Structure 1
Amino acid sequence: GNSLYNNYNKRDKSAQHIRVNHVKLHNKTSEIQSKPRIFCMITTTYANHESKAIHVRNTWAKRCDRHLFLSSRDNASLPAVRLCDTDDRPHLWCKTKEGMRYIYDKYIDDYDWFLKADDDSYVIMENLRHFLAQHQPHEPLYFGCKLQYRDVVYMSGGAGYVLSRAAVRQFVTAGIGNFTDSSQCLAGTDTGVEDLEMGKCLQHIGVTAGDSRDDSQMARFLPFDPMHMVLPNIDINQIAPWFKSYSVYPHRSGPGCCSPTLISFHYVPINIMYLMDFLLYHVNVMR
């Protein structure tokens, strides 16, 4: 199985400025005056190294300026780094928190933006760069699919969220580096609802939760898979009623669900990752 995917990986060619159906792919450097440097952190588990992480590496992650999988075991070929000993869902907070600390210590000055995604996320990196080129990495802010639980505004973990260099610096030094207020920044514990705890901490230390929608107020970061977002006969608000109640902004279903410059999906099976890669980067739609 993997040899087929690895052969596919070798055939990837640089994409032209193309449009496949409703998705615009931005990658002309002329459109991005100062090309943002993006470091991608992807949470995974040891059990998923060969079944998921390798396929993320073979598809969208190779378009990051650098990527690293946050895991419970080291793996040089992915590459993955061991940050926490436990792979269950509550320890996503451990991996994310320690991942931020790790990249702050090693890479903070080498990149402008730091994306956190999951091993079943799919990110169109060119569109993320194009979006981030409009913002300044020295400002403490972050973007994603904006949700709210009680008084905490946060970004969906699965859709991926991206922090500016300044936001990472504040998170590590003023957030988890400050043990005086553990109710707001869970520095001393390794378990928690990762995206909610991240949002709570960033909100507490003054990092702005930005609006990532396009000029038509259409979503760019999506917390569901493409099928459930774009099929005309599926209402995402009925399938996942929590989303309607948690989402800060209203969301549409069907072909008009999303921005033409959309950035991410979640819950993407590996076969769909390769399919999306093929359609976006290997197919030219003749106009």
Structure 2
Amino acid sequence: MHRRPAASASSSKVAASRERRARRGDKLNSGGGGGGIRNINGHLPLHTKQQPEKKGTGVGKWLLLGLVLLSVILINHFTTNSASSSDGGRWNLKKVSKNALKRMRNGKSIHHSHDSIAADADAAHSSPYTAEALSKNPYLGWQPPLVPTPAGSTFSWRDCFKADAKSDGTGQPAGCNENPSELGIAPAVDKDWVPDVTMIRQMMMYGKDRNGNPFPPPLSKELCEDIGVQGGKGGDSNKECLRQSMIRPTGPLNSTTVTIDPSNNYGVDPSTSKGTITVPAPRLMCSVYTMADAHANRIRAMRETWAGGCDGYLAFSTESDPRLPAISLEHEGPESYDNMWQKVRSIWRFVGTHYLEDYDWFFIGGDDLFVLPHNLKTYLASLVHKDGTDPKTNEYFVGRRFNSGIRDYFNSGGAGYTLSQATLRKFLSAMDDAEHCSAGARTSMEDVMIARCLTNLGIHFTDTRDALGRERFHPFAPGSHLYWKPPGEGEARDWYEEYNKEWGILQGKDCCAPDSVSFHYIKKASMVRHMQALLYSCDQ
């Protein structure tokens, strides 16, 4: 297993208590700025120089014959290279260096050539569960056993929705796939363990676990029906929002390319559009913060639905579990919702220490998020392509911007936000600055704190709306956005309206962009699977 160096910042032991996070009125952020995708410069074609005609004696003839043979060799060489590097070509894995194979298997290659895309496609058809890979990560390809429902059972997926949103899954019927007994006891890890964050992506790309079972596990057709929050047959406002707003994935979760329209960004002149183009997908790492009592339900549901769409995925929790993977980090102060800023600081320090160079973008959010990773990759690619920039060297702070007051623009922690590699690098260099980055603050408003820090570092917010002004990052569940109305005359002020006053809120079906990225308050594992089915399998 990988090992990690001791943390550089002082930290206290994580408190034994596992205090549940209280509900909060999400404080969100705002911004402005542009974007672009990294430029990909293909190699210029190689050409042999035309040789001048030779005249003369036998020496000249022998020279001419040699040149002919050399030309044949060169033509064959370049033709082969050209064929292997074309859009439809694939790498010959027998000729790939061991280092290249290692990078491909663990998801660390960040060179986005068409050859690397072909290699990813080949990797999807060859088992990643080699003896060498399993010796490095014994939990690669593991998934919890699917417990069958008892014979004669009248089990319905609707039964899974009846549990309280705060439940840890205990008592949930077999078939819901969220009872802690199905997960069992987490294996122990070394103190300096560094998780393999590519393991879920590798399973997604291969389509099977190491025992040959489908991964992700197939979802029941029953999850395509109208299902209310408590499992009823009516009032499925989330499904209605997906239908009315025409929210769809921009591509399969295992896709290595994205099709973008750089003009689909707010404020861009549509007359400048050159249509859609397909480009290699940027590399994305997704981090979520959680608690150990959510491992068997929310985290498992993420793992079995959208997490594999991220090139790297890691849960930061109060207990480590290498099977998920989840890791517990020490941080300043207690394990408390009121100390979220210190927890998030430790998360970013760990991510930056171990994974900074492996990914272009870094997304973070809570365990009650539903994310469409391919939509996020598509948006990020469109953003940087518009600006002609590179996330490794250009600073972006991407999410759902809010303005809570005089100077408090911030990106909603509830909806999740994304840092470019360059932004994370700059934040790491300044995160211990007490004056500009509130290094010692103890507060639940981690989203406000990081926004203030990045603002002090000169990093601006990005307007993430589409060309028609529809939002992509959402602080509520889909149905809540579809039916949201501003307070009437004489009614109490609504913080959500206040935080969006500067740019306004579109209502009804225009609440949400068709290529929406994230939704908050998806608290039940059953609802995660319901939304996954609605978006990815019900129409197939």
Q: Does 1:211 align with 2:463?
A: yes
Q: Do the aligned partners of 2:258 and 2:281 also contact (CA within 8 Å) in 1?
A: no
Q: Does 1:10 align with 2:206?
A: no
Cα distance in 1 for partners of 2:372, 2:421 equals 20
Cα distance in 1 for partners of 2:359, 2:487 equals 37
Cα distance in 2 for partners of 1:8, 1:236 equals 43
Cα distance in 2 for partners of 1:240, 1:283 equals 39
CA positional deviation for 1:195: 0.5
Residue number among 92, 98, 102 corresponding to 2:346 in the alignment: 98
Cα distance in 1 for partners of 2:457, 2:440 equals 17
Match of 1:24 in 2: 248
Residue number among 506, 509, 526 corresponding to 1:255 in the alignment: 509
Q: Pairwise mapping of residues 273-284 of structure 1 onto structure 2 (< 5 A)?
A: 273-284=528-539
SS, match of residue 100 in structure 1:
helix
Match of 1:60 in 2: 306
Q: Do the aligned partners of 1:92 and 1:194 also contact (CA within 8 Å) in 2?
A: yes
| Alignment RMSD | 2.3
Stretch of structure 1 that moved more, 153-162 or 271-280: 271-280
Q: Percent identity?
A: 29
Cα distance in 2 for partners of 1:2, 1:61 equals 23
Deviations 1:256-283 (A, max 9, x none): 2111111111001322211110011112
CA positional deviation for 1:226: 1.3
Q: Does 1:246 align with 2:496?
A: no
Match of 1:195 in 2: 447
CA positional deviation for 1:198: 0.9
Cα distance in 2 for partners of 1:227, 1:51 equals 22
Q: Does 1:169 align with 2:425?
A: yes
SS, match of residue 213 in structure 1:
coil
SS, match of residue 509 in structure 2:
coil
Stretch of structure 1 that moved more, 42-51 or 161-170: 42-51
Q: Do the aligned partners of 1:230 and 1:253 also contact (CA within 8 Å) in 2?
A: yes
Cα distance in 1 for partners of 2:529, 2:309 equals 14
Cα distance in 1 for partners of 2:174, 2:426 equals 40
Q: Do the aligned partners of 1:114 and 1:163 also contact (CA within 8 Å) in 2?
A: yes
SS, match of residue 215 in structure 1:
coil
CA positional deviation for 1:190: 4.9
Tell me the amino acid that sits aligned with residue 439 of structure 2: A
Match of 2:140 in 1: none
Shift in alpha-carbon separation, 1:70–1:244, aligned structure 2, 3 A = same
CA positional deviation for 1:50: 2.2
Q: Do the aligned partners of 1:121 and 1:267 also contact (CA within 8 Å) in 2?
A: yes
Match of 1:69 in 2: 315
Shift in alpha-carbon separation, 1:46–1:5, aligned structure 2, 3 A = closer
Shift in alpha-carbon separation, 1:217–1:107, aligned structure 2, 3 A = same
Match of 1:266 in 2: 520
Cα distance in 1 for partners of 2:328, 2:378 equals 32
Q: Do the aligned partners of 1:71 and 1:95 also contact (CA within 8 Å) in 2?
A: no
Gaps of 5+ in 1: 13-19
Cα distance in 1 for partners of 2:479, 2:363 equals 24
Tell me the amino acid that sits aligned with residue 89 of structure 1: Y
Aligned length: 272
Task: Give me the TM-score of the superposition, normalised by structure 2.
Answer: 0.47
Q: Pairwise mapping of residues 221-232 of structure 1 onto structure 2 (< 5 A)?
A: 221-231=473-483
Cα distance in 2 for partners of 1:191, 1:80 equals 24
Tell me the amino acid that sits aligned with residue 146 of structure 1: R
Tell me the amino acid that sits aligned with residue 354 of structure 2: K
Cα distance in 2 for partners of 1:140, 1:26 equals 25
Q: Does 1:153 align with 2:405?
A: no
Shift in alpha-carbon separation, 1:108–1:54, aligned structure 2, 3 A = same
Cα distance in 2 for partners of 1:249, 1:95 equals 31
Cα distance in 2 for partners of 1:74, 1:102 equals 14
Cα distance in 2 for partners of 1:251, 1:58 equals 33
Shift in alpha-carbon separation, 1:230–1:96, aligned structure 2, 3 A = same
Cα distance in 1 for partners of 2:323, 2:371 equals 21
Q: Do the aligned partners of 1:145 and 1:221 also contact (CA within 8 Å) in 2?
A: yes
Greater fraction of residues in strand: 1
Indicate the structure (1 or 2) with the bigger Cα radius of gyration: 2
CA positional deviation for 1:2: 6.8
Match of 2:288 in 1: 42
Deviations 1:177-218 (A, max 9, x none): 4x3xx2431223454411100101111111221111101111
Shift in alpha-carbon separation, 1:259–1:276, aligned structure 2, 3 A = same
Match of 1:15 in 2: none
Q: Do the aligned partners of 1:40 and 1:114 also contact (CA within 8 Å) in 2?
A: yes
CA positional deviation for 1:5: 3.6
CA positional deviation for 1:77: 1.8
Cα distance in 2 for partners of 1:255, 1:208 equals 29
Deviations 1:83-141 (A, max 9, x none): 24644212221221111110111010000000011100111111101000022312111
Cα distance in 2 for partners of 1:237, 1:131 equals 32
Q: Do the aligned partners of 2:258 and 2:377 also contact (CA within 8 Å) in 1?
A: no
SS, match of residue 358 in structure 2:
coil
SS, match of residue 321 in structure 2:
coil
